[in-house]
Structure formats: C-alpha cells, structure tokens
Amino acid sequence: MSFFSGKVVIVTGSSNGIGRGTAVIFAKEGAKLTITGRNAQSLEETKQLCLKAGAKQSDILELIGEITDASFNERLISATVEKFGRLDVLVNNAGGASMTNFGKGIFDIPVDEFDQMMELNVKQVLRLSQLSVPHLEKTNGAIVNVSSIAAFHQQSKMPYYSAAKSALDQITVQMAASLIKKGIRVNSVNPGPVATNVVVAAGGTKDDQDKMFAGMGSSMPLGRVGLPDDIGKIILFLADRSQSEILIGHIVTADGGVTLKSAMFPDA
C-alpha cells in the first residue's frame, strides 16, 4: 500500500503545469486531493487526469479562486478539512512572474510590481501554511513549497520575481525550523526551465513561450528541459515521510544542471 493511500493533499495552482503533474502523481499513489486554480475548464481537465490515474470522484475536491485572496485561502483549508476530515500535505505550488517589464533594470520597474510578486509568491504561501498548521500537526504532515532557481541568480531579467523567490526560500527555512517542533516537515523544490505555459500565464504570448523553450534543452547539461512530472516526483518524495523524513528545511535544485553553468565556465 502506498504511503499516501487515504491521505489528503492540497495542490495549489493545479489547473496546469507543475501543479497538474503533481496532482496526477499523488492521485496515482492513492491520495485524496484538493485541486485549485482560476480556470474552471483547465481544472476540470486536471480532475479528469486524476480520475484516469485511479482517483475516485469522491476523492477530489475542486475549488476555483484567486490564490492571493485571503478569504479564498481560508476556504481552501476549511473546505478540504470539512470534506475529508484531515489534511496531510500542503503543496504550495501556485505562484508566477510578470512579463510586463521583462528585461528592464530594477529601477525601471514600478515598485508596485514588487508588491504583486510578493503577494503571488510569498504572502499567500504564508497564509495557507499558517492556516494548515493545526491540521498538519494532527497528522505529522508536510509542506512542500515550489520556488525557482531564479532565487539564486545574481542578475535576472525579472528582478522582483527573483527577489520574491529568494524570500520564499528563506521562508521555507524559517518555517521548517519552527514547524518541526510540531512534527511538520517543510521543504522546497526549486525548478529550472520546465515545459509549462508559464510565459502565457505571466502575460506573454504563446510565440514568446515557444521561442523561450526552443533550443533551450540543448543548452542544458541534461540535454532537455524539465517536465511537470520531473518536479512532481520530487514533491512526492519530499512529502513522503517514509522516504524523506530526515530532510527538513531542504531546498532541492531541480534544474537539469543549469546552475552548474557560469559566466566563467559557459560550456560546463
């Protein structure tokens, strides 16, 4: 029997990309799922993939809402516990960037965008995690945050996004140190390039997105860009106490070797 059989998992931002791939993997492992996003049609597609993976209709809760809305954060946790009676894993996957000022210097970008990036990538994670603690404490549960290798870059074409992800990494560490005392493990995965609709979601065009991914794989040490399943498997591992109990406050770089490269050794 799978470790996740009968356990309850929330995956935010699960209407596409990494969130969708992660939800399907948990469904295969027998978990009960709350999936959430802003697009009802896309979320329904995720649900159907979870059902195909082996989940029952009664084991899936769909919630449409804006992840930066504090009242929706409250509903997400309360509705999950009301339906399933418990919570074992919170996957804070939802987040995003903005293409509006892509490539501009940090002082050429309105500070309002910084506020937007912090709301989308950090503050909602804090709210959801805080709301989940009383329930995760009862189950010796886990929180897995999804950050980005953008947090590591010394120079970025999206400086406020990188700053927000750096903040999220530090939040992961601080949460981990605090919550392990309650039996809750917190870790993070920081993906590199992953083939999703991330550019379109950030306000770019499909053409922009295709250009970004075209040829990117050949320049990566691994020889290909990541796939949602690649990241989903790491999230599953980090949430599985039977496999990764000793990992606490760990930030897993999942980038196909991108961060091995540097200006000094560009052909690494």
Residues recognised as catalytic: 161
DSSP secondary structure code for residue 91 in this structure:
E
Q: Angle 100-106-109 (CA atoms, 0-180°, nearest 5)?
A: 40
Non-local (6+) Cβ contacts of 53 within 8 A are 24, 25, 27, 28
Continuous H helices in the chain: 17-28, 40-52, 70-84, 111-118, 124-139, 159-179, 198-201, 206-213, 216-219, 228-239, 241-244
**What residue type is assigned to position 130 of the chain?**
Q
Around Cβ 34, how many Cβ atoms within 10 Å? Answer: 25
